[in-house]
Chain A
Amino acid sequence: MGLLDKLNTIAETRKTLLPDGVDPFNVVIDEIYSPTEASINGQRVLLAGTNNYLGLTFDPQCIQAARSSLEKDGTGTTGSRMANGTFAGHRDLERDLASFYDCSDAIVFSTGFVANLGVISTLAGPGDVIVLDADSHASIYDACKMSGAEMIRFRHNSVDDLEKKLKRLGAKAEKTLIIAEGIYSMLGDCAPLAEIAALKRKYGAWLLVDEAHSMGVMGDTGRGMAEAVGVEQDVDFIIGTFSKSLGSIGGYCVSNHAELDLVRYVCRSYVFTASPSPSTTASVRQALQVIQAKPELRTRLWNNASLLYGGLKDLGFELGPDLSPVVAIRMPSREMTLLAWNALLDKGIYVNLVFPPAAPAGMSLLRCSVSAAHTSDQINYLLQSFAEIKQ
């Protein structure tokens, strides 16, 4: 068997599932007009699958901050912080993040994926145990593999199963890192974080929460699920991303453990990768200000989420279990999902098409993500279009 033969099965699957010329996994956005509108194949479309929860990609203050930094500091850092030095913007953003979370330390990474990859694989190692939710993001799974720690899964969002796993560990629980996410990216369901935190305390384990989809979305000040359910003191490490609510690209980890600062010296995805560009750190710093100054964005986001989730439910669609800005529609088959996705695109609507293994439990999904920037007319058009394709 040759090196590339294994890719033949991918080619066969692609040929079976995707008719010529239509590939939902390689959509080209010809032009983007706003957080909610773009041009695809020459057609103006409504964007409903962007994770742009607060609509900050076109925020005038964020754009101005990025533009000023671009002109002042240049287009890129051209290397890692260890080799090329830390720019003032990196240091300032880390201070801003620590202050936003009321934590002692923060580290900025080049993407959310490498934040998980680097932090988890550095914190846990051979002889340690990671107990992770079964529906964890691919970056978490990859990080766990890289760590060399023993990897044990608990059933998605099952507090009972998590407790069974912790109980079996006995004294090893104190060398165990529990990993959960605030809002899960595919079905939009929320972690039972208060109960998970209680188990963490009971068994003396450590807790890391990925707030990628809940930062800016949950909590009184937008810090995420841990804030929303009042367990921030129990969360040892919070991982987040700049590529969703903060409208840019990058990732971070915040903690009150002073040892987080030492992670910089041994974390390969920090040491051996180019650091975020100056315009990125500048726009993210501004976006953090906006999140704090405009809580009404969260109110608008949840109103929109509620409208879409409730409307789709009334139409008889099978949805994820919780109301959140991620609204996932379970479809009966891959073929039906693809047909519906194409029909929506024909109507000028872009949503995400998700097949297993990206979707959990073998499901095929049409995944929408709602933004504070969506107007009620846009949400109504989405509902009207979904009603039409259902017929």
Chain B
Amino acid sequence: MTNPQYGEIYKQVIRLLEEYAPRPVPISEETELVNDLGFDSLRVMEMLHDVEDTFDISYPLNSLPELRTVKDFTLKIQEIIETT
């Protein structure tokens, strides 16, 4: 846990990933969005609308290419929440 908010964000992220992931595999922090969960750009875009509504944030598309793992994704959301 790198931040008090992290755990709560992580739980919500897991819920969203389970809903949108093309491959239903067990999810951990090190699970990779593309290689493990089978996300492609279209599916990520579909999920992002829900991510934005869930956390009341605007997720910049520029940062998507940097994402690899579930932990990266959660930390990015946390960063956006803290800087919004």
Q: Total A-B pairs in contact (CB under 8 Å)?
A: 30
Distance between Cα atoms of A63 and B60 in the complex (Å): 46
Whether B45 pairs with A152 at a CB distance below 8 angstroms is no
- Which of B41, B57, B59 sits near A357, CB closer than 8 Å? B41
- By a CB distance below 8 angstroms, the chain B residues around A164 are 58
Residue contact B48 to A153, C-beta cutoff 8 Å: yes
Contact with A along B34-52 (1 / 0, CB 8 A): 0000000110011011000
Chain B residues, Cβ within 8 Å of A165:
58
Of residues 3 through 41 on chain B, the ones whose CB sits less than 8 Å from some CB of chain A are 41
Chain A residues in 8 Å Cβ range of B2: none
Cβ 8 A contact of B61, one of A152, A155, A169, A362 = A152
CA distance A165 to B42 in the complex (A): 21
> How many of A's residues come within 8 Å of B, CB to CB?
16
Chain B interface size, under 10 / 10 to 19 / 20 to 34 / 35 or more: 10 to 19
Question: In this complex, what residue of A is CB-closest to B61?
Answer: A151
Query: In the assembly, what is the distance between CA of A169 and CA of B58, in Å?
Result: 9
Summarize B's interface: helix, strand, loop or mixed. helix
Tell me if B61 and A153 are in contact (CB < 8 A): yes
Interchain nearest-CB distance for B45 vs A (Å): 7
Task: For the complex, give the distance between the alpha carbons of A145 and B45 in Å.
Answer: 15
Residues of B within 8 A of A134 (CB): 45, 49
Chain A interface residues toward B at CB < 8 A: 134, 144-145, 150-153, 155, 164-165, 168-169, 356-357, 361-362
Q: Could you list 17 further interchain pairs (A-B, Cβ under 8 angstroms) beyond the known A144-B61, A151-B61, A356-B42? A: A134-B49, A145-B62, A150-B60, A151-B60, A152-B58, A152-B59, A152-B61, A153-B61, A168-B56, A168-B57, A168-B58, A168-B84, A169-B58, A357-B41, A357-B42, A361-B46, A362-B42
